[in-house]
Amino acid sequence: MSELDADLIIIGAGPAGLTAAQYGARANLKVLVIEKLATGGQVLNIDVLENYPGNSGQFDAEGKMTDAPKSGYEFVMDLHRQAEMFGASFFYGEVNSLQKEGNVFSLTLSDGTIRKAPAVIVATGAKPRLLDVPGEKEFSGKGVSYCAVCDGNFFKGKKIFVVGGGDAACDEARYLSRLTDKIVLIHRRDGFRAQKALVQRTLDNPNIEVRLNTVINNIKGDKKVMSVILKDTKTEKVYEEETDAVFIFAGTVPQSSVVSSLNVALDESGYIITDQNMATNIAGLFAAGDIRSGAFRQVVTAAADGALAAHSAAGYIDAL
């Protein structure tokens, strides 16, 4: 296999891809990680990664916290260093096409080069889902945001609407509540789908007002966001309310276009279907993390997916 560029190519450098890189390299595979944007993926948006096992911070003998848990950024930088330490290499660019001929995958990259390997792990994750309402795209970056850690500081002391009912919405609302006491969290259903502990903290937070059965119909403004048009889905009441920002956490969209040239099995939402070993229906092609159908979509499960995908890929390569 002297014509190959790597034994294992991993597309995506979030927790799943970085863990796969570490496990693949430790299995003595030549590993290449390809990342379109920056190492970390959505984890970069996590202010305090408090629910990763063992990442609880440092405590003194009396049980008092002396050092907070790592941020998402600190966590993925550690993963990146570990992967490099074990021998994984990185390329920052986009995969323009993915093909398979015989037992070899060919990836055409954004710099025009072609990289080949017998096994590929897709760990491209997912991106924020848009509300698709008037004003959302027009005011993106001008009061509409999908990342509290990135943009929250611009709205200290300001009124902020947060949209969503999952873990991300509750987490981000809590982060923003440290910057202002005027947070309004709205959700279109009559209950949250987030973990119960997160929901209770949100409800108990004096800086967060919760409005259920409420949706945004329109985001209005001039050069920046100035108000939102809201609708109560039970009473059908429509009303306008002033705000300085709208932070949207309404779910995710799978980034599975990289496999569009292959006959990869996807679920109805576009996530990649795998078996319990992270294998797809294409021999030698594996998927891990948020891109995988049925994934719990937590950092800890993404890392576990990555480890198992690399282990399975190593077994597949040995079988070849």
170 is catalytic: no
147 is catalytic: yes
* Contacts for 314 with CB less than 8 Å, ≥ 6 apart: 8, 24, 27, 29
> What six digits make up the tokens of 7?
């034994």
Q: Which residues pair with residue 33 across a beta bridge? A: 10, 90
Q: Which residues pair with residue 51 across a beta bridge? A: none
Distances (CA, A) of 31 to 34, 71, 84, 127, 320: 10, 27, 10, 25, 17
> What six digits make up the tokens of 67?
């050092």
* Contacts for 112 with CB less than 8 Å, ≥ 6 apart: none
Angle (CA) 110 116 119, round 5°: 115
Single out the catalytic residue among 150, 181, 190, 275.
150
How many whole angstroms separate alpha carbon 245 and alpha carbon 250? 16
Instruction: Assess contact for 189 and 214: CB atoms under 8 A.
Output: no
Instruction: Assess contact for 39 and 152: CB atoms under 8 A.
Output: no
How many whole angstroms separate alpha carbon 100 and alpha carbon 207? 53
60 is catalytic: no
Active-site residue numbers? 147, 150-151
